[in-house]
Homo-oligomer: A and B are copies of this chain.
Amino acid sequence: MVYPTPVFVVGTYDREGKPNVMTASWGGICCSQPPCVMVSLREATCAFKNIVAHSAFTISIPSEEFLKQTDYFGMVSSRESDKLLTTRLTPVRSDLVDAPYVSEFPLVLECKLAHKFKIGLHTQFVGEIMDVKAEENVLGTAGLVDIKKVRPFVFAPDTQCYYSIGSFIGRAFSVGSVY
């Protein structure tokens, strides 16, 4: 499997309007204009049914300090546990789409369902990103999101381990200009 995969927490509402969170690593940006992100889910998950019902989802990007909560969100089903209540994290209703996000996480993408593609065991949900909400303390110079302040982490599928983001190694569209 490919390295590294992101760690997304997908936020949705069930049919009764109860917030649901689940961790997913099969996903990524899939378009610049309009800005879109995709996440792949199995049909057996609650999140799958919730996105279909509400045509919306959020992706909250956890920082390292929420590693345990994030792992827990991927370990159990909402059928077994109220995951937000158990971990004492706070769902907040998006003001743009019909889905909740995790208030404590530093970066949130609010998505309107744009496409749904069945691939195999997993179905891709492509969401148009209506807004990106970033906590003020993760912004760096020029108002840009500073990855070292967000402190997201990645997942290594083969060994099933989480890793932090390491050091800055170079500027894109720049280090290659030696050729």
Contact = CB atoms under 8 A, between A and B. Distances in A.
Contact of A154 (B34, B87, B154): B154
Interface residues of A, number: 83
B4 A154 contact: yes
Interface string A25-59: 11111111111111010000000000000000001
Copies of this polypeptide in the complex: 2
A140 B154 CA distance: 19
Most interface-central of A5, A29, A168 (chain B CB within 10 A): A29
B3 A70 contact: no
In this complex, the member of A3, A32, A61 whose beta carbon has the largest number of chain B beta carbons within 10 angstroms is A3
Contacts of A109: 2
Contact of A172 (B81, B147, B155): B155
Contacts of A157: 29
Interface of A: 1-6, 8, 25-38, 40, 59, 61, 64, 67-75, 81, 86-87, 107, 109, 114-115, 117, 119-122, 124, 126, 132, 140, 144-147, 150, 152-179
